Amino acid sequence: MIVDPTTTMPSPHSHDPYRNFRFRVEIAGLVSAGFTDVEIGASVVEVVEYREGIDQAIRKLPGLHKTGDVTLKRGVTSSQELVQWFRSVVNGDAGFRKDVAIIVLGEDGTTEVARFLVLQAWPRRFVIGDLHAKGNEVLIETIELVNEGIERVG
């Protein structure tokens, strides 16, 4: 880590990897609090193989690009924004697609160091965690988002 001698904060030119536990999620520009886990599925380019004429070598070309689903998990609260979003998809309401931003925060917990945009996302799955009479864990809701692209913009 590069340290500026005039401060105790790391230099903005540091190449240390970012931590995975300081983040926030914005859905359609609004901060949605309390997510404990964010899983960003893999982006994959399929491979198209072909052979020319009598050539024995197989050529490989890039094919379709696919982005993985994004899974968000958080403790159940009185907020019903996620289940209402899911209901809007089930009911076929217009405007159910939303852009989602996943923002990675720096060591100070406030400075944005990376931003991932999940484009035209909508929930395909909504799950409420299991209940256990003898348990004492937080009840978790999970929402799985399909999307039309994931971009790192910051």
112, 106 Cβ separation under 8 angstroms: yes
Question: In this predicted model, what pLDDT tens digit does every residue of 56-67 receive, in sequence order?
Answer: 899 999 999 999
Distance from C-alpha of 143 to C-alpha of 80, rounded to nearest angstrom: 12
114, 51 Cβ separation under 8 angstroms: no
- Separation of CA 101 from chain center: 8
- Residue 2 confidence (pLDDT) above 60: no
Q: Which residue has the tokens 């198209």?
A: 48
pTM (global) more than 0.85:
no
Question: In this predicted model, what pLDDT tens digit does every residue of 78-97 receive, in sequence order?
Answer: 888 899 999 999 999 999 99
Q: In the chain, what are the domains?
A: 23-42+68-152 (2.30.110.20)
